[in-house]
């Protein structure tokens, strides 16, 4: 099978690369530049691409390296939401809260950021993109067992972070809208 043309990949997968970089923690203002870096590497590697494999995990692996490199430049390091400030987590269920899609996405990015780095790629591919784990392992060039265990640990990281973030949000909402919570209490 012939590999797809570079142009075809650019046309069809630019958005995928863009969103992947966002998920990998590249801030909005730098995504354009980093997306270009990804495609420069894609261009170089395309002859080696095995067209019998799905293209997205392959692109993801490239974007992952580019994002890691981007982040390793000190000027691009930004404070991550730190785990070392343990907040009191209100264990009440969060299910009935309405959350806007944009806000949910912002929280999602923050939660992803809290996943330990080697696990993050596995999580995004397997959980978010629903790629089969064997495919993920191949794309990231790690043993299958490693992929499974990273995924398990990543889910734990994610769950912890997302729960914390949602609790923080709720606390902030209550502080911003005391009337409402009072009403709720009275009711």
Q: Which of 80, 89, 104, 172 binds other proteins (CB under 8 A)?
A: 104
Q: Is 69 helix (H, G, I), strand (E, B) or coil?
A: helix
Question: For the chain, how are helix, strand and coil distributed in percent, rounded to 5?
Answer: 70, 0, 30
**83 vs 97 by CB, closer to other proteins:** 97
In terms of CB distance, is 152 or 183 closer to other proteins?
152
Residue 177 lies near other proteins (rule: CB under 8 A): no
Identify residues 134-163 at the interface with other proteins (CB under 8 A).
155, 158-159, 162-163
> Closest CB to other proteins among 41 and 181?
41
Nearest alpha-carbon partner for 124 in 60, 33, 59, 48: 60
Q: Which of 1, 73, 85, 175 binds other proteins (CB under 8 A)?
A: 73
Using the rule CB under 8 A, is 87 a contact of other proteins? no
Rounded to whole angstroms, how far apart are CA atoms 41 and 59? Answer: 10
Under rule CB under 8 A, residue 22 binds other proteins: yes
Q: Reduce the secondary structure of 84-140 to three states and give it as a string.
A: CCCCCCCCCCCCCCCCCHHHHHHHHHHHHHCCCHHHHHHHHHHHHCCCCHHHHHHHH
Question: In this structure, what token pair is assigned to residue 175?
Answer: 């502080």
CA distance 87 to 97: 20
Q: How many CA atoms lie within 13 A of 80 on its CB side?
A: 17
- Total residues contacting other proteins by CB under 8 A comes to 61
Please identify which residue in 26, 59, 66, 147 interacts with other proteins, judged by CB under 8 A. Answer: 66
- Could you list the residues that contact other proteins (CB under 8 A)? 2-8, 10, 14-15, 18-19, 22-23, 30-37, 39-41, 43-48, 62, 65-66, 69-70, 72-73, 75, 93-95, 99, 101, 104-105, 107-109, 111, 126-130, 155, 158-159, 162-163, 166
């Amino acid at each position: 099978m012939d590999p797809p043309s570079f142009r075809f990949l650019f046309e069809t997968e630019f958005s995928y690369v863009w969103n992947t970089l966002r998920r990998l923690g590249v801030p909005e203002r730098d995504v354009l530049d980093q997306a270009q870096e990804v495609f420069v590497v894609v261009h170089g590697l395309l002859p080696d691409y095995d067209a019998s494999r799905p293209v997205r995990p392959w692109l993801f692996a490239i974007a992952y390296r580019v994002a890691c490199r981007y982040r390793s430049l000190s000027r691009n390091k930004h404070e991550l939401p730190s785990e070392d400030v343990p907040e009191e987590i209100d264990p009440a269920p969060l299910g009935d809260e309405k959350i806007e899609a944009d806000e949910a996405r912002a929280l999602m990015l923050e939660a992803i950021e809290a996943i330990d780095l080697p696990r993050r790629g596995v999580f995004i591919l397997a959980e978010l993109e629903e790629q089969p784990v064997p495919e993920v392992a191949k794309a990231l060039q790690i043993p299958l067992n490693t992929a499974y265990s990273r995924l398990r640990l990543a889910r734990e990281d994610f769950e912890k972070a997302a729960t914390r973030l949602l609790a923080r949000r709720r606390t902030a909402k209550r502080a911003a809208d005391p009337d409402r919570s009072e009403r709720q209490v009275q009711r």
